Amino acid sequence: MTPLLKTAGPLCGVTVVEFAGLAPVPFAGLILADFGANVIRIDRPVSSHAPVSPDFLCRNKRSLAIDLKDPRGLETIKRLIRRADVLIDSFRPGVLEKMGLGPDVWLGSSGQNGNLVFARLPGFKQGGPNSDRAGHDINYLALSGVLSLLPGTSERPSFPLNLLADFAGGGLICAMGVLFALIERQRSGKGQVVDADMVSGTRYVATFPMLHAALQSSVVASSESPRQSNLLDGGAPFYNVYTCADERHVAVGCLEPQFFRIFLDRFLIALPSHWLKKQSWIPDIASHGRKEEWPVFRKFMDKAFRLKPRDEWAAVFHGVDACVTPVLDPMEAAALAAPGDASLVPSPSPSLSRTPATAHLPFPDVLLPGQHSKEVLLEAGLHADEVADLVKAGIVGIASQAQRSKL
C-alpha cells in the first residue's frame, strides 16, 4: 500500500493500522505519521447526527470507518492488516482476540502476516492483577511508584497534567518499541508483539529518580527524607519556581555551585539595597550546601522575586549561566521556538537533516471518521464496486457534509 501524504520521511513505505482510541495510541500513531508512515485510523461508522470525536492527534493520518461487528467488515479489515507493517491495539486486553484479530492470527508459522509488528498499549501490565481494569494517567502514574516522588506539598504529591503515563510512558514508549521491532525485522524478516503498558513505561522513563529513591539519596523523596526537603522535589530553594511582581513566574535551576555563584551575584545586586538592609537573613555562597538553611532561604527567594516583574528578572539573568529562565505561556513559547510563526502546535522532534518529519495539517484539525474510507480500501486492493456495496450496506462509513459542518 503506497502512502499518499508523505514521500521523503524515514518511515516512508511503512503502513500502520491504528485502532482509534484515547490519547496514548493517537500520539504513538502521530509520531509514526509525522516521520513518514502511512497511518490509517480505524473508526466506527457514525451517523450524520453523531458528534465528531475531538481527537486532535490526527496530523498526517487518514480514517477508515468500518463496522467490525459485521462479518464483511471484519473480513475487510483483515485484508487491510494482511498488507500492513504495524498494528496499534487501543483496546483492553483480549478485545482484538475475541474479534479474531489478535496476534495469533497474524504471527507464527501459520500466521496471515508474519511481518506484522503488533503493538499493544494498555494501561496496566498484561496478565497483572489490574489488567482488566479501567484507568487514566493519574492511576498508572500512581501504581508506577513515580507519583509518590513528584513535587507538590509536604502533605501530598502533585501530577504533571497527563504527560508522564499517557504520552511519555505510553505513546512515546510504544512508538519507540515499534521502531525497534521494525529495525529487527530487517534482520530476521519476522514481526513480533510489542507490549507497552503505561505503568511499566512510566517506570522506565523515571529510571533516574527511581534509582535515587532506591538509594535513598537526597535527590528525591524517600522513606528517610520527606517530600519538599530534597534537591529535585521542591526542597532546594535554588531549584524551584517563583512568582514575580506581575504574578508571572521564573524558574530557577542553579544546581551546580558554579552556576549558583553566578546566580547569587546577579540576584543580590538586582535587589534594592534598602530592601536588603531590612532583611534579618541574606544568603551567601555557602547557603547552597547548608540544607538546614533551605526553608529560610526559600522564604527569602519568595519575597525577593516578588519585587520585580518577570521580564525584568529575565533581563537580569539574560546571557549568563545562572540557570534562571522565565516561565513562558504556550503562545510565548511558540513564538520563541519559531519566530514569526504564532502556531501553538509543536513541531515534530527530533529534527533529521536529510529525511525530516513533516507536519502538513494545520491546527485545530479533526480527522472525521470515514474521511478517507474509499481511497484506503481501493489502495488495499478492493474493487470500486466492492467498496460501493460496503458503503451502501452501512458497513463502511463515509464522512458526511453534515459532520464537516460541525467543525
Q: Which residues are catalytic?
A: 136, 166
- Give the whole-angstrom CA distance, residue 18 versus residue 328: 34
Q: Which residues, other chains included, contact 167 with Cβ-Cβ below 8 Å and sequence gap of 6+?
A: 23, 24, 27
Three-state secondary-structure class, residue 252: strand
Residues in the chain: 407
Please report where in the chains the cell 516512508 appears, as a residue: 12
CA separation for the pair 46, 53 (Å, rounded): 10
CA 401 to chain centre: 32
C-alpha grid cell, residue 100: 479474531
CB 108 within 8 A of CB 102: no
Q: Which residues contact 3 (CB under 8 A, 6 or more apart)?
A: 12, 13, 15, 36, 37, 38
Q: CB of 176 within 8 A of CB of 91?
A: no
As a whole number of angstroms, the distance between CA 224 and CA 15 comes to 51
Distance CA 78, CA 113 (A): 10
Question: What sign has the CA pseudo-torsion 186, 190, 191, 197?
Answer: negative
Residue 240: in which H helix or E strand, if any? strand 239-243
